[in-house]
């Protein structure tokens, strides 16, 4: 009876001493390998580079999307520094263009069966995660509802800048946000982002109408 008890206490002490974490590393490497092997090696290079994590993603993975305050602040500061603005400095565009972009879910699809042809309009696909204008009833709820965004938050310069920055690089505000970083990844141009800002903030936009 005594021997097994001693053995299990010893095992627990070894685990506490960090032997468990040594075992975790090869498992993570194996998982990464399995994940990558799901993609064909002859894929175009720019498809494969999407599998590489940048520093923010790496830190978020390391901390399971919940980094300690210091790391969180470090990520957000670095992401904030990536934000670029339109040359004319105007951060609010045309809500009608923004309305179209918000609803477009195409562009940039990879895969051999039905990849998007080069040059196909890239949309924001905002309804995948947010409620916006009332006429679109099929919306996801991963993100908060943005219905009446401008009505509730106003349309001052600070709000306009916040929305521009958020859409450009969402992780500048929420270190491990799962909202895509549309500007950072050149998914949307700065000009397209200004149209989305108008869609959310302009009092005439359907987002802010009843
Ligand atoms: C994959 C899901 C996803 C997509 C797609 C997405 N978002 Fe988000 N969004 C989120 C989440 C989640 C949040 C909540 C805060 C956070 O985690 O960043 C958020 C927050 C926001 C906020 C801040 C809201 C507030 O109350 O301050 C704005 C503005 C926003 N999104 C705009 C957009 C726009 C515009 C688009 C389309 C171009 C878009 N989002 C696409 C997930 C998404």
Number of separate domains in the chain: 2
Nearest to 24 by CA among 35, 15, 12, 11: 15
Residues 62, 119 within the same domain: no
Q: Whose CA is nearest to atom 38 of ligand 1?
A: 124
The residue from 18, 53, 79 where one domain ends is 79
Indicate whether 186 belongs to any domain: yes
Q: Mean pLDDT over residues 8-27, rounded? A: 57
Q: Mean pLDDT over residues 4-27, rounded? A: 58
Pocket flag, ligand 1, residue 129 (CB < 6 Å): yes
More confident residue, 38 or 174: 174
What percentage of the chain carries pLDDT values higher than 90?
Answer: 66
Q: Mean pLDDT over residues 28-42, rounded? A: 84
pTM: 0.86
End-to-end alpha-carbon separation of the chain, Å? 74
Residues 142, 56 within the same domain: no
Q: Mean pLDDT over residues 134-159, rounded? A: 97
pLDDT digits (tens, 9 = 90+) for 158-188: 999 999 999 999 999 999 999 999 999 999 9
Indicate whether 157 belongs to any domain: yes
pLDDT at residue 172 in the model: 98
Indicate whether 48 belongs to any domain: yes
Distance of alpha carbon 61 from the chain centroid: 13
Q: Mean pLDDT over residues 40-68, rounded? A: 88
Which domain range does residue 66 map to?
A: 2-79
Residues 99, 202 within the same domain: yes
Residues 73, 100 within the same domain: no
Pocket flag, ligand 1, residue 142 (CB < 6 Å): yes
Domain of residue 128, CATH code: 1.10.760.10
Indicate whether 34 belongs to any domain: yes
Give the DSSP per-residue string, 12-79: HHHIIIIIHHHHHHHHHHHHHHHHHHTS-TTS-HHHHGGGS--HHHHHHHHTTT---HHHHHHHHHHH
Pocket flag, ligand 1, residue 170 (CB < 6 Å): yes
Indicate whether 85 belongs to any domain: no
State the chain's mean pLDDT as an integer.
89
- 102 alpha carbon to ligand 1 midpoint, in Å? 11
Residues 113, 138 within the same domain: yes
Pocket flag, ligand 1, residue 60 (CB < 6 Å): no
pLDDT at residue 15 in the model: 52
Residues 100, 202 within the same domain: yes
Ligand 1 atom nearest the C-alpha of 176 is: 17
């Amino acid at each position: 009876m005594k021997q097994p008890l001693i053995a299990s206490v010893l095992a627990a002490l070894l685990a506490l001493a960090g032997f468990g974490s040594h075992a975790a590393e090869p498992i993570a490497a194996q998982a990464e390998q399995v994940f990558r092997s799901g993609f064909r090696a002859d894929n175009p290079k720019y498809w494969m580079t999407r599998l590489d994590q940048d520093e923010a993603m790496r830190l978020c993975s390391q901390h399971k999307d919940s980094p300690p305050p210091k790391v969180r602040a470090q990520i957000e500061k670095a992401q904030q520094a990536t934000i670029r603005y339109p040359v004319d400095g105007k951060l609010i565009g045309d809500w009608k263009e923004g309305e179209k972009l918000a609803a477009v879910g195409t562009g940039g699809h990879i895969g051999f069966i039905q990849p998007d042809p080069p040059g196909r309009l890239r949309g924001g696909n905002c309804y995948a995660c947010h409620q916006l204008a009332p006429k679109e009833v099929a919306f996801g709820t991963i993100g908060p509802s943005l219905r009446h965004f401008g009505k509730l938050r106003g349309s001052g310069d600070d709000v306009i800048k916040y929305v521009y920055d958020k859409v450009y690089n969402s992780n500048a505000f929420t270190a491990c946000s799962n909202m895509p970083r549309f500007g950072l990844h050149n998914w949307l141009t700065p000009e397209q982002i200004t149209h989305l800002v108008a869609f959310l903030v302009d009092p005439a936009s359907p987002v802010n109408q009843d």
